[in-house]
Chain A
Amino acid sequence: MEPAVLVLGGGIAGIQAALDVAEQNVHVYLVERSPSIGGHMAMLDKTFPTLDCSLCILTPKMVDVARHPNVELLTYSEVIDVRRANPGFKVKVLKRARYVDESKCTGCGICTEHCPIEAPDEFNMGLSPRRAIYIPFPQAVPKVAVIDYERCIRCGLCQLACEAGAIDFKQKDQELELHVGAIIVATGFRQVDVSALSEYGYGRFPNVITALELERLLNAAGPTAGELLRPSDGKAPKRIAFIQCVGSRDVRLNRPYCSRVCCMYAVKNAILIREHHPEADVAIYFIDIRAYGKGFEEFVQRAEGEFGIKLVRGRVARLEEDPSTGDLWLAAEDVSSGKVVMERYDLVVLSAGLVPPEGSEALAKLLGLSTDGYGFFSGPNLKLNPVLAQDGIFICGCAAGPKDIPDSVAEASAAAMEAVNYLREVGLL
């Protein structure tokens, strides 16, 4: 059996793990359930604390992993069965039909211009449209169109427009059987569902948005070309508030843990807003500011000093909308002054916490993995071996708990090393 490692998840952690294993001359299957690799990092505008353009640092790795001779990219695919094979595992992967021939599609995008069916674009958090045939984002890897078969009406306009003849409505889902020595789980996270916190009115008040929605609005490739328009009426918001710990440190929702990145991403977003719109007033309502990492504390100081962002220690009790204007009244306690404040804002951003992605529970069952009380994967010795979940199965990145990009990358490399060592242990290398 040729030694191979299965990496589940094509975000930054999965990509790093795949690259590191591949560099050890071991074959890697990188399985990603969405049509492109990149994960959440591809959706971010800038990263903290360096203010690097997220895609600028991610895309070289995306291309590296796609081109690596030892990496087999299986996108729009999901693991449906796993069995121990001693050594290693027998894995069944469902490769879903794109209805587009990957070998013929050039990624030109003409098909997307002809499709008459519109749908909310998941990459832009539903704030802009995509078509039933679409390329997930301009830097998608692989840059191949995919048809959302539920919405497609089989009008065939894409087929007429495609000069490469790549549209194939006869395509079928494929089941692949892989034999691998080790598995690395890098399935990432999703943003908590903030509509569960009815006191903040998300879903009812159009000008209450989540952090990821703000990232897309600020991004030059986003729904409004990087201009910050507030959702209800296209006003340029003059007063903006961030609310921290939404869905984190929350006993009521059974999410008492800290999501680790929200303080820093809120400060980063606040800085970006002040950079674009120096006339805007920005305030962050927090319980604590967690600036634990390299350059983090300096970043927060910069935000307050250089960018004039107001940091207000105090929990926000609720938001109320003024229906005639769409403005929001924010009721909070200001711990420093000891008073309850009621402030009016044009736009409120909820710093939503990180939770395990959809399907984590099922995946845990499939792989026989233990999870902590909140659905993140865990292992027998998290103190001294944070990336070990089980014999031959390793975890890294946010799949193992919320963390930022550098920590995800570090864990991914650790998991890759252990996976390759495991292959040696069981005699596959």
Chain B
Amino acid sequence: MEENELRARLRAAREAFSSERVRWLLGRSRHIAEVGKLTPEEAKELITNILKEELERGRILSELKENGPLTVPELSERTGLPKQRLMWHLICMMKDGRVAIWGKKGDFYAFSAAKR
């Protein structure tokens, strides 16, 4: 794999493991596997899937932090993620305050990492 791509992915991983969602989930994973509704295998699968989701979101966030406001097509080119999946992630991150609509770049709306 290309060096810059790996660097970008590792930055994304750092974002993901900084997210409240992942941190709370990992902290609670023993409880989920033992006391919750899921079997240990189901718990591991669920947490891994959420982790993958947050890795994609972490990638979006780190791209926005490094490169300023970006449109969905720009993000798609940089991350390789399909545009509709990007839209869903962006809407989710708008809901929890990590991302905001910055304005327009030409005909497209651009998103930026929200200031905390």
Q: Do chains A and B touch in the complex (CB under 8 A)?
A: yes
Interface residues, chain A, with chain B CB atoms under 8 Å away = 113-114, 116, 118, 127-129, 152-157, 206, 223-225, 227, 229, 231-236, 238
Task: Give chain A nearest CB distance to B106 CB in angstroms.
Answer: 9
Check A157 against B24 for contact (C-beta < 8 Å): yes
Check B36 against A155 for contact (C-beta < 8 Å): yes
7 residue pairs of the A-B complex, CB under 8 angstroms, read A154-B36, A155-B31, A156-B31, A224-B101, A232-B83, A233-B108, A234-B108
A-B complex: 7 closest residue pairs judged by Cβ atoms? A234-B72, A154-B36, A116-B25, A154-B37, A233-B83, A233-B72, A234-B109
Contact residues, B61-116 vs A (CB, 8 A): 71-73, 83-84, 87, 90-92, 94-96, 101, 104, 107-109, 111
State how many residues of chain B have any CB contact under 8 Å with chain A. 32
Interchain CA distance A153-B96 in the complex, whole Å:
20
Q: Given contacts A153-B36, A233-B73, is CB(A224)–CB(B91) below 8 Å?
A: yes
Check B87 against A234 for contact (C-beta < 8 Å): yes
Closest to B43 in A: A153
Check A235 against B92 for contact (C-beta < 8 Å): no
Instruction: Flag B23-48 by CB within 8 Å of A: 1 or 0 each.
Output: 01100100110011110000100100
Task: Give chain A nearest CB distance to B72 CB in angstroms.
Answer: 4
- Interface assignment of B50: CB less than 8 Å from any CB of chain A: yes
- Interface assignment of B21: CB less than 8 Å from any CB of chain A: yes
Interchain CA distance A153-B50 in the complex, whole Å:
13
Interface residues, chain B, with chain A CB atoms under 8 Å away = 20-21, 24-25, 28, 31-32, 35-38, 43, 46, 50, 71-73, 83-84, 87, 90-92, 94-96, 101, 104, 107-109, 111
Contact of B95 among A116, A128, A154, A232 (CB under 8 A): A128
Check B87 against A155 for contact (C-beta < 8 Å): no
Task: Give chain B nearest CB distance to A132 CB in angstroms.
Answer: 11
Check A233 against B87 for contact (C-beta < 8 Å): yes
Contact of B28 among A118, A128, A157, A225 (CB under 8 A): A157
Interchain CA distance A224-B43 in the complex, whole Å:
32
Contact of B109 among A114, A152, A232, A236 (CB under 8 A): A236
Check A114 against B24 for contact (C-beta < 8 Å): yes
Residues of B contacting A229 in the complex (Cβ-Cβ under 8 angstroms): 87, 101, 109
Q: Given contacts A154-B37, A236-B104, A236-B107, is CB(A128)–CB(B31) below 8 Å?
A: no
Interchain CA distance A157-B22 in the complex, whole Å:
12
Residues of B contacting A153 in the complex (Cβ-Cβ under 8 angstroms): 32, 36-38, 43, 46
Check A232 against B24 for contact (C-beta < 8 Å): no
Interchain CA distance A336-B92 in the complex, whole Å:
45
Task: Give chain A nearest CB distance to B61 CB in angstroms.
Answer: 16
Check A235 against B109 for contact (C-beta < 8 Å): yes
Interchain CA distance A428-B45 in the complex, whole Å:
59
Residues of B contacting A127 in the complex (Cβ-Cβ under 8 angstroms): 91
Residues of A contacting B43 in the complex (Cβ-Cβ under 8 angstroms): 153
Closest to B90 in A: A234
Closest to A226 in B: B101
Check A225 against B101 for contact (C-beta < 8 Å): yes
Task: Give chain B nearest CB distance to A289 CB in angstroms.
Answer: 31
Name 14 extra pairs, CB < 8 A, besides A155-B28, A236-B107.
A116-B24, A129-B92, A129-B95, A155-B36, A224-B91, A227-B101, A232-B83, A232-B84, A232-B87, A233-B73, A233-B87, A234-B71, A234-B111, A235-B109
Closest to B27 in A: A157
Interchain CA distance A233-B20 in the complex, whole Å:
27
Task: Give chain B nearest CB distance to A15 CB in angstroms.
Answer: 28
Residues of B contacting A225 in the complex (Cβ-Cβ under 8 angstroms): 94, 101
Task: Give chain A nearest CB distance to B27 CB in angstroms.
Answer: 9
Task: Give chain A nearest CB distance to B68 CB in angstroms.
Answer: 16
Contact of B84 among A114, A157, A206 (CB under 8 A): A206
Residues of B contacting A129 in the complex (Cβ-Cβ under 8 angstroms): 91-92, 95
Interchain CA distance A426-B28 in the complex, whole Å:
59
Check B32 against A155 for contact (C-beta < 8 Å): yes
Closest to B97 in A: A113
Residues of A contacting B37 in the complex (Cβ-Cβ under 8 angstroms): 152-154
Task: Give chain B nearest CB distance to A280 CB in angstroms.
Answer: 11
Check B32 against A238 for contact (C-beta < 8 Å): no
Interchain CA distance A157-B95 in the complex, whole Å:
19
Interchain CA distance A155-B21 in the complex, whole Å:
12
Contact of B87 among A116, A156, A231, A236 (CB under 8 A): A231
Interchain CA distance A154-B28 in the complex, whole Å:
10
